[in-house]
Structure 1
Amino acid sequence: MAKQTELRFTEPGMRLLENEHRYLSFLMDEWHAIVLEFENDQISLEEGREKLKMLRQKLYEFVEPLKNHTDKEEEHFFPVLGTYIGFEQGPLMGIQEEHQEIDGYIGHFFHHTRGNIDLMSIDDMKTVAKDAGEAFEVLTIHFVKEETVLFPMAEKLMKAADQDALYEKMNTLIT
């Protein structure tokens, strides 16, 4: 994901969510680098086992801030924005479905790595690493959609009182 030095949004709530995306993207880059190593056919069985253990640890450390961020969006941001744009169709529905898709890929990864990684073949490790790669791809596109569709929509449509109340509710740490 392209790195930016300045936040683009002016409303505090949108800036907060955008900043959380930056932090999550930083964490994602760490574990995605490991995923890419599995796509390289040069990885040995022993190296693969060590890399998969590292990937599992980095994803484990990623899940809590991601969950805190998505909970914040689902409990506070989406309901307020939905009062302006609707809930039944359109961008909010798609974004919420992506949250479930991301959870599914990460959950599938953890399910298939819960046993003894030292007993996995290199092909099994490559297959399970693909789940993390899929989660990365969905997350990357997901952040872009939120930042190019939802956040600008919120800044344009939401009343100042709703923006202020939203920021107060969301101004919590994700770590």
Structure 2
Amino acid sequence: MMDNSNVELCSPLKQLIDEHVSLRADMDLFYEITEEIEYDSGPSVVQLFLKLYQQILAFNDKLKTHSKREEEGLFPLISRHLKKNDKTIEEMECEHKKADQHLQDFLTEADKAGSTIDESDVQWITVYAVQAHATLIQHFAKEEKVLFPMAESILSVDEKEELQRLLQAYPYR
């Protein structure tokens, strides 16, 4: 894979990178909480977990919006230009699913534990948030270094304008 991260990107691709910046900031916040949970003990761990749960809940909504913008906007446009056996977009979608599954597992298990959650539950459920973080850090880097520069070079001016319209149809919040 070539590192094309110095390529000047069009406005809609810059928007997607800006969303990564926002999502990374949220991820940093929830990752800090996971570290506190890992190194803390006692009743404060459950309180930290409740804070983590709220962070993940809000983050998950933002991530779903971002993923939809890529999956329904950017990915189909790029796919038009790729050879039949090119798995780039398939890989990206797989990484989206993997991160989403980690977050869903976290939320599901937290909901199952409910108000009876204890320190042991907190420790193993938090692993899902850590896994989501790791998956997304790698995924964002791959998009920024490879996918977005590729899109910049292969998409026509009309397709970039189409992407801009598609992004406006699914506003990021």
Return structure 1 stretches of 4+ with deviation > 4 angstroms: none
- Structure 1 residue runs of 5 or longer lacking an equivalent are 1-6
Letter in 1 for 2:60: V
1:79-98 to structure 2, matched below 5 A, reads 79-86=76-83, 89-98=86-95
Whether 1:100 aligns to 2:97 is yes
Distance, in Å, in 2 between the alignment partners of 1:87 and 1:137 is: 30
What is the DSSP-based 3-state SS (H/G/I as helix, E as strand, rest coil) of the residue aligned with 1:174?
coil
Note closer, same or farther for the CA distance 1:82–1:130 as it changes in structure 2 (3 Å cut): same
* Equivalent position to 1:170, from 145, 148, 167: 167
Letter in 2 for 1:151: F
Residue 68 (structure 1) aligns with:
65
TM-score w.r.t. length of structure 2? 0.90
Residue 78 (structure 1) aligns with:
75
The answer on whether the counterparts of 2:106 and 2:126 sit within 8 Å (CA) in structure 1 is: yes
Distance, in Å, in 1 between the alignment partners of 2:98 and 2:86 is: 17
User: C-alpha displacement at 1:165, in angstroms?
Assistant: 1.3
The answer on whether the counterparts of 2:113 and 2:121 sit within 8 Å (CA) in structure 1 is: no
Note closer, same or farther for the CA distance 1:14–1:115 as it changes in structure 2 (3 Å cut): same
User: C-alpha displacement at 1:55, in angstroms?
Assistant: 0.3
**Which segment drifts farther, 129-138 or 28-37?**
28-37
What is the DSSP-based 3-state SS (H/G/I as helix, E as strand, rest coil) of the residue aligned with 1:85?
coil
Distance, in Å, in 2 between the alignment partners of 1:88 and 1:150 is: 16
**Which segment drifts farther, 102-111 or 86-95?**
86-95
User: C-alpha displacement at 1:121, in angstroms?
Assistant: 3.0
TM-score w.r.t. length of structure 1? 0.89
Residue 124 (structure 1) aligns with:
121
What is the DSSP-based 3-state SS (H/G/I as helix, E as strand, rest coil) of the residue aligned with 1:113?
helix
Residue 3 (structure 2) aligns with:
none
Letter in 1 for 2:57: Y
User: C-alpha displacement at 1:137, in angstroms?
Assistant: 0.5
Aligned residue pairs total: 167
CA RMSD of aligned residues (A): 1.7
The answer on whether the counterparts of 2:23 and 2:62 sit within 8 Å (CA) in structure 1 is: yes
The answer on whether the counterparts of 1:35 and 1:132 sit within 8 Å (CA) in structure 2 is: yes
Note closer, same or farther for the CA distance 1:128–1:111 as it changes in structure 2 (3 Å cut): same
1:1-175 to structure 2, matched below 5 A, reads 9-40=8-39, 43-86=40-83, 89-171=86-168, 172-175=170-173
